[in-house]
Amino acid sequence: MAILDRIESPADLKLLTHEECLMLAAEIREFLISEVAKTGGHLGPNLGVVELTMALHRVFDSPHDPIVFDTGHQSYVHKILTGRKDFSGLRQRGGLAGYPQRSESEHDIVESSHASSSLSWADGISRAFTRTGQLDRSVIAVVGDGALTGGMTWEALNNITDDNDRNLVIVVNDNGRSYAPTIGGMARFLNGVRSKGSYRDLQEGSEKLFSRLGQPGRTLYRGARGALHGFLSRASNNDHLYSNLDIKYLGPIDGHDLSAVEETLRQAKGYGRPTLVHVITEKGYGYAPAENDLADQFHAIGKIDPDSGEPVSPSAGLSWTKVFRQHLADIADVDERVIAITAAMLQPTGLDLLAERHPERVIDVGIAEQHAVTSAAGLAYGGLHPVVAVYATFMNRALDQLMMDVALHRAGVTFALDRSGITGPDGASHNGVWDLATLQVVPGIRIAAPRDAATLRELLSQAVKIDDGPTVIRYPKGSVPEDLVPLERRADGVDVLSADTPGVDTDVLFVTVGPMASVALEAAALLRAQGITCTVIDPRWVVPVAASVVEIARSHRLLISIEDGIRVGGVGTRIRQALRDAGVDTAVSELGTPDEFPDHASRDELLLEAGLTAAQIAQNVEEQVRGRRIPIARPEA
């Protein structure tokens, strides 16, 4: 019987011998590689925290001692050890979430998958435990070195070290990476710690000795090595940055040495005050394809062959990100003012090609979206045109900076929002459904939503020429559809994609946002079969509302706006206001996603739930037209 089969809760883990634990670690890695290869997911980060997660559950008592994972993509091992071993539906509707999720288990504390928040959570929880007399409970925050580049981490540390009377353990899982290698002064500091004589010599010497020992000698040595790690951790405490913050420091520890990690965590637990444990791990540890992938060490993968690590079926078609990647680099070749900023996501956002061509014109600020946006305002003041490329969901973190530092100062900054709209498998906090509703409240902002590759290139070229305020280009995850050639382009840039009775009263006007254009065209075709006349337009620049949208609406009985963002405060709401201000009495129906957090599922499943398929929209419109007794326009004979 495999040891993994015996593990249903952390209590089972505590009963294992050291040798059984080592066997279990190997089984967990085999399980992760086999299962995640079938579904896709965050493989590299989880391979790197196997021993660390086992040690956490052997030393502490979850959920009595809450474990807070920063970001949470490295929580697969935690799920396995807390009784969740059915990975067949990972990141799929009805299956395990790719991040901690309270509805799955009492062991999951924080669901948000946005980085750098764990220390603030742990600070609050530990203060509450102390204040309510729960002095036997510890709080553990597991934070990556990449998350240490985020400002919230340092705000939390400042407050944590102001009150030392609580059981709080901060585990820095230092693998030198976020998506890509961690950058900046903090990264250089941690790299210096890794290469410090005591740690480096211990690593090199122990590896040589270990290779020469027989099995009995290895067992004895593991215990001695763990104790030696603890001694070096205590001895080196005063040599590190964290001592200046008045926080107990233990480390660095080899995160793949189970004895060393357990020994150090037990020390930290016993101090009864905030303690930082610095653990060195390797992303993708134990899986050669991941270890050899210098780009991101299999941070997030699709379905792969577990033996080779190669994709089972390469992605079909050209992705939105690749279109942006190529065109931005081409623009920068001829416009020296263009400079790009990434928040630790050079490759995922497509800035790597620009970095290859013009390395001095790409700035990686780490996981620090707020700093990125205000820094961009400064770059614009200095005469450059910054392009800030982030996932749409992460733009939420810098709304104040966009409002007060960019827009108030009328700074020419372009924001490229990848993964906008419904993305699907990564779950609630990764769906980019809020940007249209939140960003359009910013005075003077211009928001564009390309429907295909051609319009993405057009709109990006236009955006980087606008220097009197912020511009936004939003586009989804996945492959771009075929280009849709308009019947007509109005003087203000509005594209007419389809029109049954130009210049004559028409039943329905579809105003589409980005890739929802193709859905509207399909819905219009279904309605035509029912004798309902339709016009489909794509404003391209959806905020502010173009004059042509208002004028075209005058000759239609019903306007339907379609966006894959939340309906509340979305583009449809903006159009309704524009029509009212212009005295246009056309009925308006705004279609979008409900004002709730979308669960993890496929994009198609979530669109179906939101009623945003062509068939659902056509049925919805037909019911409105006939149910409201809105007269159906008939073309003159």
Contact call for residues 437 and 568 (beta carbons, < 8 A):
yes
CA–CA separation, 602 and 135 (whole Å): 43
User: What CA dihedral angle connects 301, 281, 79 and 170, to 10 degrees?
Assistant: -130
pLDDT at 481 over 70: yes
CA–CA separation, 226 and 111 (whole Å): 33
Q: Specify the residue for token string 């935690």.
A: 78
pLDDT the model gives residue 240 = 53
Contact call for residues 332 and 354 (beta carbons, < 8 A):
yes
Q: Is 63 left (phi over 0), alpha (psi -120 to 50) or beta?
A: alpha
pLDDT above 90 covers what percent of the chain?
Answer: 75
Partners of 467 in beta bridges = none
pLDDT the model gives residue 204 = 57
CA–CA separation, 266 and 270 (whole Å): 6
Active-site amino acid positions = 283, 369, 397
pLDDT the model gives residue 317 = 80
pLDDT the model gives residue 635 = 43
Q: Taking all residues of the chain, what is their mean pLDDT, rounded to a whole number? A: 89
pLDDT the model gives residue 634 = 46
List strands edge to edge, sheet with 275-280.
67-69, 139-144, 168-174, 275-280, 248-254
Q: Which amino acid is at 245?
A: L
pLDDT the model gives residue 315 = 66
User: What CA dihedral angle connects 454, 458, 460 and 462, to 10 degrees?
Assistant: -170
pLDDT above 70 covers what percent of the chain?
Answer: 87
pLDDT the model gives residue 151 = 87
Kindly state the average pLDDT of the residues 552-581: 96
Q: Specify the residue for token string 């961690």.
A: 182
Kindly state the average pLDDT of the residues 495-506: 86
Partners of 551 in beta bridges = none
pLDDT the model gives residue 205 = 53
Rg for the chain, CA atoms, rounded: 27
pLDDT at 279 over 70: yes
pLDDT at 415 over 90: yes
Contact call for residues 112 and 142 (beta carbons, < 8 A):
no
Q: Which of 160-164, 311-315, 363-367, 549-553 has the lowest mean pLDDT?
A: 311-315
Kindly state the average pLDDT of the residues 105-130: 92
- At 320, list the tokens: 């939105």
Reported confidence tier of residue 217, pLDDT bands at 50, 70, 90 = low
pLDDT the model gives residue 626 = 79
pLDDT at 543 over 80: yes
Q: Which of 31-35, 98-102, 630-634 has the lowest mean pLDDT?
A: 630-634
Binding-site positions for thiamine diphosphate: 73, 113-115, 146-147, 175, 287, 369
* CA triple 266-272-277, angle to 5 deg: 50
Kindly state the average pLDDT of the residues 159-172: 92
Kindly report, residue by residue over 144-164, the tens digit of the pLDDT: 888 888 889 999 999 998 888
pLDDT at 572 over 60: yes
pLDDT the model gives residue 164 = 85
pLDDT at 119 over 70: yes
Kindly state the average pLDDT of the residues 172-201: 66
Q: Which of 65-74, 236-245, 305-314 has the lowest mean pLDDT?
A: 236-245
CA–CA separation, 286 and 613 (whole Å): 44
pLDDT at 601 over 50: yes
Q: Which of 162-176, 279-293, 407-421, 620-634 has the highest mean pLDDT?
A: 407-421
pLDDT the model gives residue 300 = 84
Q: Which DSSP category does 309 fall into? A: -
pLDDT the model gives residue 574 = 96
Binding-site positions: 73, 113-115, 145-147, 175, 287, 369
pLDDT the model gives residue 203 = 55
Work out whether the CA dihedral 34, 37, 39, 44 comes out positive or negative.
positive
Binding-site positions for Mg(2+): 145, 175
pLDDT the model gives residue 636 = 45
Q: Which DSSP category does 492 fall into? A: T
Contact call for residues 174 and 280 (beta carbons, < 8 A):
yes
pLDDT the model gives residue 175 = 86
CA–CA separation, 311 and 304 (whole Å): 4
User: Which residue has better confidence, 383 or 247?
Assistant: 383
pLDDT the model gives residue 239 = 45
* Strand (E) or helix (H) holding 50: helix 50-59
pLDDT at 16 over 80: yes
pLDDT the model gives residue 609 = 93
pLDDT the model gives residue 181 = 63
Contact call for residues 414 and 471 (beta carbons, < 8 A):
yes
* Strand (E) or helix (H) holding 461: helix 453-463
- At 183, list the tokens: 């950058």
Please, what are the domains in the chain?
A: 3-291 (3.40.50.970), 320-474 (3.40.50.970), 489-627 (3.40.50.920)
CA–CA separation, 25 and 184 (whole Å): 33
Kindly report, residue by residue over 347-402, the tens digit of the pLDDT: 999 999 999 999 999 999 998 999 999 999 999 999 999 999 999 999 999 999 99
pLDDT at 514 over 90: yes
pLDDT the model gives residue 137 = 97
- Reduced to 3 states (helix: H, G, I; strand: E, B; else coil), residue 254 is strand
pTM reported for the whole predicted model:
0.87
CA–CA separation, 602 and 587 (whole Å): 32
Q: How many CA atoms lie within 13 A of 593 on its CB side?
A: 28
